[in-house]
Chain A
C-alpha cells in the first residue's frame, strides 16, 4: 500500500490538458480519510475533469493520482475496473439506466460484481433505498422520477457496493431548496454513519461550505487556496474573496475587454 494512511486520495504534481489548452498545471491535492473535501472554482476550471482523472477515465500528462493505494494512471484495464469498485461517483444528471427500474438500477452493481442470491440482493437494495428515502419508489422507471429523486436513486446505486470513496459532481446544481436540503443531509449522513471519504465538486458556495470539512479552490489550472471553509471565506486573496461572496466585479472583471466606451459610441 503506497501513500499516506491519512489520505484516501493523493494527487501530486498533476498536469493535464487538451491539446494546447492546459487544464491542470502541477496541481497537488490531499483528500483526508473520512472527511468531506470540497473542490470549488468557476465553471470550466476543470473540476469535473479532476474527478474523471481520479476515476481513471482520463490519463494525465504527468503526475500521480493515488486512490485507495492504487496509482490510477498506471493500472491495466482489468485492475482499473477492480479499483473502481471501491469508488462511487454520482454524476450531475444522476445517469440512471433509462431502461431499468429504480430497483434494478440499484441492484445493477450487486448483480454484476457479486454472486449474491436474489433474496439477499433484494434486502441490500431495499436498505440502500431506505437510506435515501426512496424505498416506496422502487419499481418506478427513471423517466417517472423528478430531478431530485433521480439523484437520490443514483446515490443509492452508488453506495450499493459500500465504496469508501464517494465523488459528487455538482450535486446541488439546479435543485430546488427542498431537494438541496435533502441532498445535503444525505451526504453528511453517509459521511458520519459510514465513514466514507467524500469529494464534492461544486460552485454552490453556501451549500458546499455548510458541510465541507476542507476546501480547495481551483482556478486557471492551479490551486489558488485551500483550508477550512471559514479560513477560505476570510481569505486575503481578492480573487477568492470575489468567488466566495459572489461579487459581480473584481479580479474577474464585469466588462469583457473592449474599447473605450465614449470612443465606441462616437465612432459607430
Chain B
C-alpha cells in the first residue's frame, strides 16, 4: 500500500521533471532570436520538408473527407427534408473541428514523425555532438528552424485541407446528389461566421502546430542514440501528438463554442 503511494509520487515527480525539461528545452530553442537572412535561409528548406511535402496527403485526404461528409450528410439530412442544409453541415464540421483536428493528426503522422526521425538520426550519427564541438549551437541551427517550420506550416495546411474538403463536399452534394447549388452556398454563408468559426479554427490549428512540432522536436532531440531508440521516439511523437491534439481540442472547443450566454 505504502509502496503504491511511493511509486505514484515518484511518477508525479518524474512527470513534473519532464514537463520542466521540455519547457526549458523549448525556450532555449526559441529564444534564439532569428538572425535575419541567415535564419530565413535555414527556414526555407524546412518549410519545404515539412509543409510542401505534406501537401499531397493533406489535399487527397481533404478531398475524400469532404466527399464522405457530403455523402453521409446528405443521407441523414434527406430524411428530414433538410438536404439544403448540407452546405452548412460540411462547412461547420470542417472549419470548427475536422479541419484543425484531422489536419493536425495527419501532420503528426507525416511531418511530425519525419522531424523526429531526422533529428534522431542526426543524434545517432553524432552530427549534433560534432556541431556542438564546432562551436555551433544545434538548438539554434537544427531545432529552431524545424520548430518554426512546423508552427507555420500546420495552419496553412489546415486552411488548404478545409477548403479542399468543402470543395469535395460540393462536388458530391451538388454535382452528384443534386442539392441546389444556390442554397448550398447561401445556407453555408449564413451560418458560418468569419470571426466565430474560421478565426477560431485558425487559432486551433496554431495551438496544434505548437504542440505537435514541439513534441516532435523534443522526442528527436532526447531519444536514446540507437536505431531502436529512434523507432520508439517516432512512435511516441505520433501517439503523444495525437493525444495532446485531441485533449487540447476539447479544451479549446469548450472555451470557444461551449460557453455561450
Contact = CB atoms under 8 A, between A and B. Distances in A.
B136 interface: yes
Contacts of A88: 133
Contact of B127 (A84, A89, A97): A97
Interface in A80-125: 81-82, 84-85, 87-89, 91-93, 95-98, 108-109, 112-113
Interface string B124-159: 011101111111110000000000000000000000
A4 interface: no
Nearest to B142: A97
A228 interface: no
Interface in A167-198: none
A89 B135 contact: no
Nearest to B136: A112
Interface residues of B, number: 14
Contact of A157 (B129, B134, B137): B134
B132 A95 contact: no
Contact of A95 (B129, B135, B136, B137): B129
A46 interface: no
Nearest to A169: B126
> By CB atoms of chain A within 10 A, which of B125, B131, B137 has the most?
B125
Given A91-B126, A93-B125, A95-B126, 5 more contacts: A57-B133, A81-B135, A87-B133, A98-B121, A98-B125
Given A93-B125, A95-B125, A98-B125, A84 B134 contact: yes
Interface of B: 121-122, 125-127, 129-137
Nearest to B141: A112
Count chain A CB atoms within 10 A of each CB in B125, B126, B134 and give the residue with the most: B134
Contact of B133 (A89, A92, A98, A112): A89
Interface of A: 55, 57, 81-82, 84-85, 87-89, 91-93, 95-98, 108-109, 112-113, 154, 157
Contacts of B134: 84, 108-109, 112, 157
Contacts, number: 47
A62 B125 CA distance: 30
8 cross-chain pairs, A with B, having the tightest CB-CB distances, nearest first: A95-B130, A95-B126, A89-B133, A84-B135, A91-B126, A85-B135, A81-B135, A109-B134
A92 B134 CA distance: 15
B53 to A, nearest CB: 15
A93 B137 CA distance: 20
A82, A92, A97, A108: which has the most chain B beta carbons within 10 Å? A97
B135 A109 contact: yes
B126 A113 contact: no
B125 A57 contact: no
A99 to B, nearest CB: 8
A112 B126 CA distance: 19
A86 to B, nearest CB: 9
A91 B135 contact: no
B106 to A, nearest CB: 25
Contacts of A112: 134-136
Contacts of B125: 93, 95, 98
A157 B126 CA distance: 15
A259 B72 CA distance: 72
B137 A91 contact: no
Nearest to A112: B136
A195 to B, nearest CB: 21
Contacts of B133: 55, 57, 84, 87-89
A82 B135 contact: yes
Nearest to B131: A97
A93 B126 contact: yes
